[in-house]
Amino acid sequence: MARNKIALIGSGQIGGTLALLAGLKELGDIVLFDVQEGVPQGKGLDIAQSSPVEGFDARISGTQSYEAIAGADVVIVTAGVPRKPGMSRDDLLEINLRVMEQVGAGISKYAPEAFVICITNPLDAMVWALQKFSGLPASQVVGMAGVLDSARFRYFLAEELGVSVEDVTAFVLGGHGDTMVPLTRYSTVAGIPLPDLVKMGWLDGKRLDEIVQRTRDGGAEIVGLLKTGSAFYAPAASAIAMAESYLRDKKRVLPAAAYLQGEYGLDGIYVGVPVVIGAGGVEKVVEIELDRAERQMFQKSVDSVEGLIAACRKIQPSL
């Protein structure tokens, strides 16, 4: 069987980590793309030189040309610029929207069959724009945020309770960042919902609220520590889990920014919901019951995504 091909558009902090993880997991051959000359080539060569030590076989190459992504099975997009001092959120939106336009055209021309995972911020709006620019079916284009947000939630809970991260599941909905909605009653330790753990006296209710807030601020906490960039190990690991579910048809149920067509009473926007990812891409959007408070939080999140989409449309009315 021929190896799969994974194209990474953007070879910065997350892109490089994605290449290393995809190599270590032998997901396939890897093409790193970036506008910065030498960077994808250098990172590719460096990772390739780790393969004899780690014992994995993969062709890893770097490129400035979209042609090199031809026939990719999976494309993971991290291309974009970070927000710099003096740059407003709208400035950032406009620059990254232009980047999505280029990336969408490249994918549409050379890898129209690929499963596309977008990571670039502002996530929910960028994945929406990328799907439009690429013209790929919405089931083939998805955004990564929920796996990361729920991983942070799981890690904090496991640490608090002194249990294995493997036995903690967490459920998050909504947009990435401040407006994410951690659903505590659907989050469990070995199947026991968090509110029951509070009742049992294993978890303090106030501590749980603090952990929820820390999860919401998870990205900012890391930016505050790193000072020169944002998180990249856990974001890369999260996108790799999604790619793996697609390539191996695992049909994992993962939170992801998916295109809604009537689900949750929404139409035509991307927002974080649980989905099944398998060989057919996003094979199913899982629609769960929300109580009043959860619905309100979800709506706040949807409003902020809709605001970003409106801002994109203002910049590019044809979208």
> Contact with ligand TXD (CB under 6 A): which of 48, 79, 180, 275?
79
Is 123 among the residues that bind ligand TXD (CB under 6 A)? yes
Helix boundaries (H) for the chain:
13-24, 39-54, 89-110, 123-134, 146-161, 194-200, 205-216, 218-226, 233-247, 292-315
Q: Where does this chain touch ligand TXD (CB under 6 A) — which range of 54-62, 77-85, 191-199, 294-302? A: 77-85
Is 176 among the residues that bind ligand TXD (CB under 6 A)? yes
Is 71 among the residues that bind ligand TXD (CB under 6 A)? no
Cβ density class 279-306: b for 16+ within 10 Å, e for less: eebbebbeeeebeeebeebbbebbebbb
DSSP SS3 for 2:
coil
Is 226 among the residues that bind ligand TXD (CB under 6 A)? no
Q: What share of the chain is helix, strand, coil (3-state, %, to 5)?
A: 50, 20, 30
Total residues binding ligand TXD (CB under 6 A):
31
Phi-psi domain of 253 (left: phi exceeds 0; alpha: psi -120 through 50; beta: other): beta
> CB of 211: closest distance to ligand TXD in angstroms?
19
DSSP SS3 for 162:
coil
Is 13 among the residues that bind ligand TXD (CB under 6 A)? yes
Is 34 among the residues that bind ligand TXD (CB under 6 A)? yes
Cα 219–chain centre separation: 13
Is 274 among the residues that bind ligand TXD (CB under 6 A)? no
Q: Is 82 exposed, middle or buried (0-12, 13-18, 19+ CB in 10 A)?
A: middle
User: Among this protein's residues, is 176 annotated catalytic?
Assistant: yes
Could you tell me whether strands 168-169 and 188-189 are parallel, antiparallel, or unpaired per DSSP bridges? antiparallel
Backbone dihedral angles phi then psi of residue 270, each to the nearest 5 degrees: -100, 130
Q: Where does this chain touch ligand TXD (CB under 6 A) — which range of 3-11, 55-63, 180-188, 308-316? A: 3-11
Q: Where does this chain touch ligand TXD (CB under 6 A) — which range of 12-20, 48-56, 157-165, 279-287? A: 12-20
Is 9 among the residues that bind ligand TXD (CB under 6 A)? yes
Q: Select which of 97, 176, 183, 240 is catalytic.
A: 176
Which residue's beta carbon is nearest to the bound ligand TXD? 12
| Window 231-260: residues binding ligand TXD (CB under 6 A) | 231-232, 235
Residue 103 contacts residue 266 (beta carbons within 8 Å):
no
In the bound state with ligand TXD, the residue whose beta carbon lies nearer, of 39 and 197, is 39
Q: Which residues carry out catalysis? A: 176
**What residues make contact with ligand TXD under the rule CB under 6 A?**
9-15, 34-36, 39, 78-82, 99, 102, 119-121, 123, 144-145, 148, 176, 229-232, 235
